[in-house]
């Protein structure tokens, strides 16, 4: 029996009750299309979509939205050259794109947080899972050593760290993404190190213009 896009969506969301007003939608494609191959990504960038198509995946499951904002409001983008080029690629390729954001964060433990902890090989150090965060108890490291370890394990070029780099750390509060502001993050400062991430997306449109060899607009430069 063929597996359809809708079958995959139902399997992904089955462990969580229905979420009202969710951002998790099939952003492009036919829910009844047979799935031949699946690609996953955190951000559905132009290059990611190209790579998925080249690998003969016809379903892309992505955490973030297609068009540079949480709500993916494209009303103001219809004449934007970056938007037009990206939507052209999506339509011509026929790929289905499903955003898997709210349900994955609602999973217990949070799927993004669990994946981050797994990437750092810290699963055995988890002392407590909170609804939106986790506490890990690691062997003694300095804050600088933790930052360098994260860079190496995640294969990223840089991290941003504030505070005393020589501070000893054994208990770390982990909060992934933007999860509601100070009410969630401030209690985690009771730990010796607090790790969070939130991507300011204001410059993304400018970066995408560079990908296509397009000049940045004044609006891109102001962000």
Q: How far apart are CA 84 and CA 8, in angstroms?
A: 28
CB atoms within 10 A of CB 146: 21
List binding-site positions for a divalent metal cation: 63
| Paired residues of 141 in beta bridges | 169
Q: What pairing do the DSSP bridges indicate for beta strands 168-175 and 26-28?
A: unpaired
Which pair of tokens denotes residue 43?
Answer: 């951000």
Strands 96-99 and 38-41: unpaired
Binding residues: 63
User: Radius of gyration of the chain from Cα atoms?
Assistant: 20
Closest CA to 3 of 52, 59, 51, 49: 59
**Nearest CA to 58 among 86, 38, 31?**
38
- The total number of residues shown for the chain amounts to 223
In the structure encoding, which two tokens stand for residue 222, read together? 């102001």
């Amino acid at each position: 029996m063929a597996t359809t896009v809708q079958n995959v969506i139902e399997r992904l969301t089955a462990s969580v009750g229905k979420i009202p007003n969710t951002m998790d939608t099939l952003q492009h494609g036919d829910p009844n299309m047979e799935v031949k191959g699946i690609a996953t990504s955190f951000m559905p960038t132009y290059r990611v979509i190209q790579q998925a198509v080249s690998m003969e995946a016809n379903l892309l499951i992505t955490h973030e939205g297609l068009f540079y904002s949480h709500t993916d409001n494209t009303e103001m983008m219809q004449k934007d050259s970056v938007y037009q080029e990206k939507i052209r690629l999506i339509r011509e390729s026929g790929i289905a794109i499903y955003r898997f954001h709210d349900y994955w964060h609602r999973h217990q433990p949070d799927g993004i947080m669990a994946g981050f902890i797994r990437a750092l090989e810290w699963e055995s150090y988890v002392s407590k899972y909170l609804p939106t965060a986790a506490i890990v108890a690691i062997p003694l490291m300095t804050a600088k050593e933790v930052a360098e370890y994260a860079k190496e394990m995640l294969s990223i070029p840089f991290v941003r760290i504030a505070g005393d780099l020589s501070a000893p750390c054994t208990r770390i509060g982990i909060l992934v993404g933007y999860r509601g502001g100070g009410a969630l993050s401030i209690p985690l400062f009771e730990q010796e190190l607090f790790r969070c991430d939130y991507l300011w997306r204001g410059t993304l449109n400018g970066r995408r213009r560079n990908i296509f060899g397009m000049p940045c607009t004044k609006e891109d430069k102001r962000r």
